Amino acid sequence: MSADTKLRLAGVGKRFALKDKAEAVAVQDFSLDIRQGEFLVIVGPSGCGKTTCLRMAAGLEFPGTGIVRVGGKTVTGPGPDRSVVFQQFALFPWKTVAQNIDFGLRSIGIPAAERARRIAHYIELMNLQGYESAFPHQLSGGMQQRVAIARSYVLDPAVLLMDEPFGALDAQTRTVMQEELIKLSRVNPRTVLFITHAVEEAVYLADRVVVMTRRPGRIKEIVDVGSVRRAENWDRHDRVEEVMDQASFVHLRTRIWRLLREQQAEHEH
Amino acid sequence: MSAAAPGRMLRSVAVPLLLIAIWYAWTTAHPTVRTPTPPKVVNAAIEMIASGDLPYGVLQSLGRVFGGFAVAALIGVPLGLAMGTVRAVERNVDPLVESFRPIAAIAILPLAILWLGTGTSAAVMIVAYAAFFPIVVNTVAGVKRVDATLLRAAATMGIDRLTVMRTVIVPGALPSIGVGLRIALGVAWTAIIAAELAVGAKAGGGGSGGVGQMMFVFYAYSIELNRIVVCMIAVGVVAFLLDRVLRVVLRRLMPWTH
């Protein structure tokens, strides 16, 4: 394991029991190293086991074969060093915005003054000023997901796990959130494992995109986006659509689309 | 108060007023000696309130209802939480709960009297028995309905099990627990009639036996139908007010639901 590998999945396989003693293979022979500070996105057709991979990294599920390691330690269960942003936000409805962000911080035993400082920092960073004592149901979907992202970032985890975090948002809100996440990851570079089925989103956010095959989920190809991003200086654009207009972006997007379409064809024949 | 308020109040009492009018018209058209009529019932109510028997009886009954309700909640809520979170507890306790649930509170009257003697503690036991089931059943249902994603989210933030119980499961189940408590308070008040049979009927005992025993005395000893109707109305009005109070308390406890 190289020194800068933060999250490692090695030879991971996972089966699920179906009715009548049948089994479905969700993930097979899946090996992936996520480097320190890397934004890694897994794309794949629905049911390809990409969420299963994330859950195994989170410690919410365990591999049948192979190992999952974070920072050199085998994952034995969930923990605040691998906080998760869920598609359905998963905010506590009875806690205010500030209390939601504070919840995990309390459990890892951060002193009150430091907690207050960190909460204020992320409230500002995620444009949530004035909503500290609002309950989640009083906020729009986009704002709720900002609270959830703040709640995960504030824990300063070794790896941030994002399970289709923008999947439940409308198209405009989704675009704004993608831009904000890019800005946030520039201010606070973190090791991120991000799951999506949206190809544009993957290319826009990722340093590397892992394309998965249909069930059983394996790695079809790993596409390096980071080198193109840096070479073409995508980061000089503030808006998603400007980046998406770049020939280099279109090229990568089309390449990933083809990889996904090939499997579709294989699947149908 | 807005200008529309008197109109709204009138609309919300329209059906009760109509029922009283029908009652009045019917009993005037078909008069018999024993038929309770609105004027006779009003007179009986005035007498019973003036003598202090009715207020005292209601207060006596309320004390027993609150006692039994508190016992039921103190056992039912923790047991429901345990059943909802620990499989083994549910497997063991659920068959017991479900087989005792159809047994009416009045059926345990002989046992209550044998164990606790005639008096308030037997009445409290009967009320507690009746109120226990809706609380435990709704608490279990509430725990099971807690969003599994919230439990996963808490786990990924490293929250320990006891804190999860206190800060995720209890508030998540609270709306359902609240429904259970509201049903239970209604049931407890219903059971007071059965429960106060255990206090021992004494003719001329005034309000000391509670409103339930007063009804029994008016039925079995002095045969005063008008007074029974007054007691029925009193039970209904008190039940309505209790539910309103409990609803306000529960709303206060759950500021995130409105």
Q: Between residues B213 and A100, which one has the greater pLDDT? A: A100
- Residue B200 has a pLDDT of 66
Q: Between residues A262 and B75, which one has the greater pLDDT? A: B75
Contact B149/A86, CB-based, under 8 Å?
Answer: yes
| Helix, strand or coil, per DSSP, at residue A232 | helix
Considering only alpha carbons, which residue of chain A is nearest residue B151? A90
pLDDT at A269 over 60: no
Contact B152/A90, CB-based, under 8 Å?
Answer: yes
Q: Between residues B142 and B216, which one has the greater pLDDT? A: B142
pLDDT at A176 over 60: yes
- Residue A2 has a pLDDT of 58
Q: Which of B30-39, B61-70, B167-176 has the lowest mean pLDDT?
A: B30-39
Cα end-to-end distance, chain A, whole Å: 39
Which positions in chain B touch A151 (Cβ < 8 Å)? 157
pLDDT at A268 over 80: no
Residue type, B71: V
pLDDT at B205 over 80: no
pLDDT at A198 over 60: yes
Helix, strand and coil in chain A, % to nearest 5: 45, 25, 35
- Residue B118 has a pLDDT of 81
Write down the domain spans for chain B: 44-253
- Tell me if A202 sits within 8 A of A196, measured CB to CB: yes
Residue B108 CB partners (closer than 8 Å, separation 6+): B125, B126, B129
pLDDT, averaged across chain A = 90
- Residue B258 has a pLDDT of 75
Q: Does B8 reach chain A within 8 Å, measured CB to CB?
A: no
Task: Determine the distance from the C-alpha atom of residue A51 to the mean position of all C-alpha atoms in its chain, rounded to a whole number.
Answer: 10
pLDDT at B206 over 90: no
Distance CA A207, CA A193 (A): 11
Residue type, B254: M
Instruction: Compute φ and ψ for A17, nearest 5 degrees.
Output: -75, 135
Chain B residues 175-204 with a CB less than 8 Å from chain A: none
Considering only alpha carbons, which residue of chain B is nearest residue A135? B256
pLDDT tens by residue, A152-162: 999 999 999 99
Q: Does A257 reach chain B within 8 Å, measured CB to CB?
A: no
Q: Between residues A46 and B256, which one has the greater pLDDT? A: B256
Q: Between residues A238 and B101, which one has the greater pLDDT? A: B101
Q: Between residues A69 and A2, which one has the greater pLDDT? A: A69
Contact B158/A60, CB-based, under 8 Å?
Answer: no
Does the structural domain B44-253 have CATH classification 3.30.565.10? no
pTM of the complete model: 0.85
- Residue A264 has a pLDDT of 66
- Residue A109 has a pLDDT of 85
Chain A residues 53-82 with a CB less than 8 Å from chain B: 58-60, 77-80, 82
Query: Tokens 């309905």 correspond to what residue?
Result: B145
Quote the ipTM score. 0.88
DSSP type of residue B34: S
CA distances from B56 to A76, B59, B63, B207, B230 (A): 63, 5, 11, 5, 14
pLDDT tens by residue, B163-197: 999 999 999 999 999 999 999 999 999 898 778 87
- Tell me if B138 sits within 8 A of B177, measured CB to CB: yes
pLDDT tens by residue, A88-123: 999 999 999 999 999 999 888 889 999 999 999 999
Residues of each domain in chain A carrying CATH 3.40.50.300? 28-81+162-269
Which positions in chain B touch A136 (Cβ < 8 Å)? 256
Share of chain A above pLDDT 70, in %: 97
DSSP type of residue A138: G
A208-212: strand order across its sheet: A84-85, A160-163, A192-196, A39-43, A208-212, A219-224
Distance CA A259, CA A211 (A): 7
CATH topology of domain A28-81+162-269: Rossmann fold (3.40.50)
What b/e string do you get for A196-206 counting C-beta neighbours within 10 Å, with b at 16 or more?
Answer: bbbbbbbbbbb
pLDDT at B233 over 60: yes
pLDDT at A3 over 80: no
Of the candidates B127, B121, B122, B120, which has an alpha carbon nearest to the alpha carbon of residue B104?
B127
pLDDT confidence band for B98 (50 / 70 / 90):
very high
pLDDT confidence band for B202 (50 / 70 / 90):
low
- Residue A20 has a pLDDT of 78
pLDDT confidence band for B31 (50 / 70 / 90):
confident
